[in-house]
Structure 1
Amino acid sequence: MADSTVSRWRRFALCALLVAIQVKKSESSADIMQKLTIGFTEALEHCKKDLQISNEVMQDFYNFWREDYELVNREMGCVLMCMAARLDLVTEDLKMHHGNAHEFAKKHGADDTMAKQLVTIIHECEQGAASVPDECARTLDMAKCFKTRIHELKWAPSMEVVLEEVITELKN
């Protein structure tokens, strides 16, 4: 009986350890997504000037990672495409540049596996939106898909922390 109790406690401890490791991995993935988001928004100032961004679109940026917030503004897709182009993340035909996207992810803290997974997600979202003829609407659909997938993985960063970091960057 004592062996059975010890064995149960060992299994319980092992399960608790595995859960703790998974939680830590999720936290670090959210941290990396936070860095990626901040890195991506570095292009926002340029696109803001180029495209005369409305307050509604800025509101979309402030609420982007909120799970219950719905992205519906086509103009948001135009701004996201502008930002991706500024960061050299798209090719001339406005498709994701896999190599540059992978390097962008790694530059902002993703390991090779996470960078590959992010590129795969974006690629799948891009394929899912391929039939949308308008490039801004297509980019918006891709962003919604990407946001959903990141939430499914529990990788979405805290919007409050991201906003705080972005505001700090803008002040400097």
Structure 2
Amino acid sequence: MRHRKMAWNSKWRSAVFICLLLHVYWASPSQEIMKNLTAGFGKALETCKQELNLGDHIIQDFYNYWKEEYDLVNADTGCAIMCMASKLDLITDDRKLHHGNAHEFAKSHGADDDMAKQLVVMIHECEKTHAEVSDDCARTLEIAKCFRTKIHVLKWAPSMETIIEELMTEV
């Protein structure tokens, strides 16, 4: 009986290990793509920081953006995100997500068609959720926080180590 129990435990551990490997396999490409999207989006940060005359606290907010426990509260960060999205032609004149351009932006940074569609849908859902916020910067910040939460639920958020590595290679 003990031998059967040990064999079952061994099979169970093997199954759990295989599931974990599959999770890592499936999560890693999405995390890599989110890292690429973050880096691509962030290229406009310094320009927007200067144009909007924003302080260095903006850099801190972007550095910590993917940390779930980091509290994004500064509306200036929303203004910076809106500026960056505008520079990348990701928003329309009425400050809403340009679905086609956002889809192509995601694909140009490694997302396949399905992932690009899913990202656009998530942002669109966040836009609808926060449509009543009248201040453009505050609404953009709320949309960004909503999007971050959705990405964390999917376990697609890039690790801080990956973000730091990316930032260090650009310096």
Q: Which category describes the TM-score, using the shorter chain as reference length? A: 0.7 to 0.9
Whole-Å separation in 2 of the counterparts to 1:50 and 1:120: 30
Whole-Å separation in 2 of the counterparts to 1:15 and 1:163: 31
Matched ranges for 1:144-159 at <5 A: 144-159=145-160
Matched ranges for 1:28-47 at <5 A: 28-47=29-48
Give the letter aligned to residue 56 of structure 2: N
What residue number does 1:162 align with?
A: 163
2:164 aligns to what SS in structure 1?
helix
Following TM superposition, where does structure 1 have runs of at least 4 consecutive aligned residues deviating by more than 6 angstroms?
A: 6-12
Give the letter aligned to residue 123 of structure 2: I
Whole-Å separation in 2 of the counterparts to 1:159 and 1:18: 24
Give the letter aligned to residue 31 of structure 1: E
**Aligned residues: CA RMSD:** 2.3
List runs of 5+ in structure 1 lacking aligned partners: 1-5
Query: TM-score, normalising length from structure 2?
Result: 0.88
List runs of 5+ in structure 2 lacking aligned partners: 1-6
Whole-Å separation in 1 of the counterparts to 2:89 and 2:51: 16
Give the letter aligned to residue 107 of structure 2: K
Aligned residues: 170
Give the letter aligned to residue 92 of structure 2: T
What residue number does 2:4 align with?
A: none
Q: Structure 1's 25 and 92: CA in aligned 2 closer, same or farther, altered over 3 A?
A: same
Identity rate, percent: 55
Describe the superposition over 1:71-91 as per-residue Cα deviations: whole angstroms up to 9, x where unpaired.
000000000000000000001
Whole-Å separation in 2 of the counterparts to 1:126 and 1:81: 13
1:49 aligns with 2:31: no
Whole-Å separation in 2 of the counterparts to 1:30 and 1:134: 31
Describe the superposition over 1:64-111 as per-residue Cα deviations: whole angstroms up to 9, x where unpaired.
111110100000000000000000000111100001111111111111
Query: TM-score, normalising length from structure 1?
Result: 0.87
Describe the superposition over 1:50-77 as per-residue Cα deviations: whole angstroms up to 9, x where unpaired.
0112122221111111111010000000
Q: Structure 1's 61 and 34: CA in aligned 2 closer, same or farther, altered over 3 A?
A: same
Whole-Å separation in 2 of the counterparts to 1:117 and 1:143: 15
Give the letter aligned to residue 129 of structure 1: H
